[in-house]
Structure 1
Amino acid sequence: MKRRDLFKSAFAVGAGLVGASALRPLYASELMEFKGPDVPDVDAVKVTEHCYTIPAMGPHPTPDNFGMFSNPGFVVTDAGVVVVDSGSSVQIGEMVLRQIKKITDKPVVKVINSHFHGDHWLGNHAFVNANPDVEIIAHTKCVENLKGGQDKFWFDFMQTTTNNKITGTVITMPNKTVEGGEEFEVGGVKFKLHHFGQVHTVSDIAVEVVNDKVFYTGDMVMRRVANMEDGSFRGSIDALGKIAAMDVNTFIPMHGTPDDVKLINEGKEFMETIYTNVAEMYDQGLSDFEMKPKIMALPFMQNVASQWPGYDDTLGKFIVVAIKEFEQSLFA
């Protein structure tokens, strides 16, 4: 009997025995009396005519980098600025605003949160402080997850990993939801929002800046091996294949540096390498511990992925998630 058939039999016996519970989310009702330190300025990098990115201070959140481990981006137009991801705290959001003011006196008119992980939305607080009427956009499932407990989870995570340096940040939710496919124009610059299903999360929104042929990817692709627990390997492979075929010249990830389509192709190959080999080794009866050294020995992993932050520490978790997804696929 193949391992997948054995798993099906075991699953049939145990199905329905697992329950789930959800905690009611907690929200800050007023500003805290104390506030963590300001984040040092990190100059924005101009990528194209309208598009900028602010480089992270490190690949993981630490007290030393104030939780500034992703790359907030922004697009400057004649009518205002569109921000893509607001950072991990009110302090990071304030720092982003300072960098914007170095470049333009136009106000921030829209903030787009690419998904519900905390380094992409906790900075919303700063933008609402600066402009109470600012539009904060996210996918419907992003808001659903935040209201389902991810808001407090990510606030607590960022507090813990930064030694409370995000103190003063108030949970500030998106105020406009989208489904993907929406188009809008600001100051002569055309934007398209894309949603490909479950990729890094179920709520990923990518932002295409049509005029500049630029694509802000969120965390659907990155040169970093980090969190895959909310994602899908098959969804990532499918989405990255579609993105690679788009009429785009420059891709701006929220972890890593801007690049051409090579970024997308390498991200796709990384996911394919893990998932296809896990599927093959699963039927051979190998455990995750046995799979890991075999996968790490593959040429792409040795020559490319091994250079990414988090590779040695996190690849094993990716393999565990891939095994779970493959097992679930057996019943699809």
Structure 2
Amino acid sequence: MSSMGRRDLFKRAFGLTAGLVGMSALKPLYASDEMIIRGPDVPDVPVTKVSDRCYYLLAQDPEPSPQNFGFFSNPGFIVTSEGVVVIDTGGSVQIGEMILRQIKTVTDKPVIKVINTHFHGDHWLGNHAFVKANPDVEIYSHQEVIDQIKNGSGEFWIGFMQRNTDNAISGTVATSPTKVLKGGEVMKVGDTTLKIHHFGRVHTVADLAVEVVEDQTVYSGDMMMRRIANMADGSYLGSIDAMDQLAALPAKQFIPGHGKHDGQKLITDFKTFCEVVYNKTGEYYDEGMSDFEIKPKLMEEPFMKDTASQWPGYESTLGKYVVVAVQEYEKNMF
């Protein structure tokens, strides 16, 4: 049966997303117990090589949709002499399985560690596939990721992804990390040194960056990107400070959670964006303007017109960014 035929079958058989979410969330199903009804396989996404050890799968779309099967963030992997370390696993078991297939196009070495950069589900729901392939795989994250999943984040993200993909992630089970990273750790994996960085509240309170020392490359998760995305869990001032700390690292390449990898320009662009949004929002707020009056003012700023206006989500999401900036500015006033 074709992928589209399977998807039509799911819709006829279950009708409502809620039924599918309940089915996937209640019964963990791994290697020895396959789901009878599950979403279609995700088409292979080619591997992008950044350095001798560092790779990622570039997601072309900024948001989940039925057409992209929920693949809209960048999973990455590091090939060491001991085995493969995966950085983020995508938003479904099917995406995780696709990542595993693509890793095999580069190396036959086993996946021995997974690191989830934060608690947004497009970066960790694919954990299911890695546990299914190897129940002993080590999955790491900040403690807050584990706490969020324990307190209902898994069900929320499965529901979110189901609604936005026409149930393409059916069969995915929320699979939590089991090992904790706080930031500051140095992990020696065969011939490769990984430094873990945590800068406080940036995109979320749980963001981890993974520095691959020998390759001068950093997987930065969603701490910076050329995309107007979810800022509700983050901080503008925290992001600005984190950009300074990332810029101080001895790295030449940065692999974001969304969009193409780049050098220091990725950092400076996102820092400038955060500074313009936060500082200008504060100025206009002090003049008595409301958030809907501030948005058009921001859009006239040179950086916004010349650079940020080209980023996905600019027109649709910038207003939400202003609201969050107002809330943070008010909080910092008192």
TM over 0.5, shorter chain? yes
Secondary structure, aligned partner of 1:82: strand
CA distance in 2, matches of 1:35, 1:175: 25
Secondary structure, aligned partner of 2:254: strand
Residue equivalent to 1:30: 28
2:240 corresponds, among 237, 250, 255, to: 237
Deviations 1:132-160 (A, max 9, x none): 10000000111112212211111110011
Residue equivalent to 2:78: 75
Deviations 1:98-123 (A, max 9, x none): 00011111000000000000100000
2:321 aligned with 1:318:
yes
Residue equivalent to 1:330: 333
Amino acid at match of 2:244: G
Residue equivalent to 1:187: 190
Q: How far apart are residue 27 of structure 1 and its match?
A: 4.5
- Equivalent runs, 1:71-220 vs 2, <5 Å: 71-220=74-223
Amino acid at match of 2:75: P
Residue equivalent to 1:281: 284
Secondary structure, aligned partner of 1:191: strand
Secondary structure, aligned partner of 1:165: coil
Residue equivalent to 1:23: none
Amino acid at match of 2:125: L
Amino acid at match of 1:261: Q
Q: How far apart are residue 53 of structure 1 and its match?
A: 0.8
CA distance in 1, matches of 2:87, 2:56: 9
Secondary structure, aligned partner of 1:103: coil
Gaps of 5+ in 2: 1-23, 30-34
The percent identity for this pair of structures is: 58
2:62 corresponds, among 59, 68, 72, to: 59
2:226 aligned with 1:223:
yes
Q: How far apart are residue 183 of structure 1 and its match?
A: 0.8
* Equivalent residues of 2:60, 2:259 under 8 A apart: no
* Equivalent residues of 1:28, 1:171 under 8 A apart: no
Amino acid at match of 1:30: P
Secondary structure, aligned partner of 2:105: helix
Moved over 2 A (4+): 26-33
2:266 aligned with 1:263:
yes
Amino acid at match of 2:28: E
Deviations 1:162-205 (A, max 9, x none): 01000011111001011111111112000011100000000001
CA distance in 2, matches of 1:317, 1:259: 26
TM-score between both structures, scaled by the size of structure 1: 0.91
CA distance in 2, matches of 1:248, 1:30: 40
Q: How far apart are residue 28 of structure 1 and its match?
A: 3.0
Residue equivalent to 2:52: 49
CA distance in 2, matches of 1:184, 1:27: 33
Q: What is the aligned-residue RMSD (CA, Å)? A: 1.0
Residue equivalent to 1:3: none
CA distance in 2, matches of 1:159, 1:229: 21
Count matched residues. 306
CA distance in 2, matches of 1:30, 1:76: 29
